[in-house]
Amino acid sequence: MQTIFLTGFMGAGKTTIGQYLAEHLQWPVYDTDQLIEQQTGQQIKEIFSLYGEERFRELETETLLKKNNQPCIVTTGGGIILKPINRELMKSTGTVIFLRADFDIIWERLLQDDNRPLVKNKSKEEVEILYNSRLPLYMESATHIVDTSNKSIDEIVQQIAHRLRLN
């Protein structure tokens, strides 16, 4: 089995689901944002502030290129799908699971998290426009789509494992 990439908009549950799925499968889990922070010695919000979103997207690509071929779970940043090379790298080296959630649920989750540089000081309508603009890219790159709305973590993990025949 190749790498399982978890994609989705911020607040869809990628990090949490990735941790539980890794525990369920007994596989390592890597978070692209954490890897970038370790590599640069800076927090994501600092990278955005100092160098801008484009530099951050380049760092995401560099992180994907460094990934080894062992079976693992990779949780990604919500915008990793913006660059065609990132979508292609994930599709060609693993299985891409798009964790989809209703926007209203995502918005409620984001209101509780002040560590999101792309939504800081943005209205619900502005964030929903961003969500809708990314939706086709998530769909295009997905091997499987799993709805996380109103489901428990265990239900989501079981659904992913079942779809990938990893129970």
Give the pair of three-digit tokens for residue 140: 């295009």
Output the known binding site for substrate: 33, 57, 78, 134
Output the known binding site for ATP: 11-16, 116
User: Over the stretch 8-17, which tens digit does the pLDDT of each residue have?
Assistant: 999 899 999 9
The stretch 88-107 carries a mean pLDDT of: 94
Name the residue type at position 9.
F
User: Over the stretch 12-58, which tens digit does the pLDDT of each residue have?
Assistant: 999 999 999 999 999 999 999 999 999 999 998 899 899 998 999 99
The stretch 65-91 carries a mean pLDDT of: 92
Residues forming beta bridges with residue 98, ordered by sequence position: 7, 145
Average pLDDT over all residues of the chain: 91
CA dihedral sign of residues 68, 34, 22, 136: negative
Output the known binding site: 11-16, 33, 57, 78, 116, 134
Percent of the chain past pLDDT 70, that is, above it, reads 96
Q: What is the pTM of this model?
A: 0.93
Architecture of the domain whose range is 3-151: 3-Layer(aba) Sandwich (3.40)
- What is the four-CA torsion angle of 56, 57, 58, 62, rounded to 10 degrees? 100
pLDDT above 90 for 166: no
pLDDT above 80 for 116: no
Helices 153-163, 14-25: inter-axial angle, 10-degree rounding: 60
pLDDT above 70 for 93: yes
Q: Is 64 in a helix, a strand, or coil?
A: helix
In the chain, domain spans: 3-151
Residues forming beta bridges with residue 31, ordered by sequence position: 75
Most distant CA pair in the chain, distance: 44
Output the known binding site for Mg(2+): 15
Question: Taking Cα atoms as reference points, which of 70, 81, 66 lies closest to residue 14?
Answer: 81
43 in Cβ contact with 149 (< 8 Å): no
Tell me, what's the pLDDT at 117? 60
**Residue 10 gets which letter from DSSP?**
T
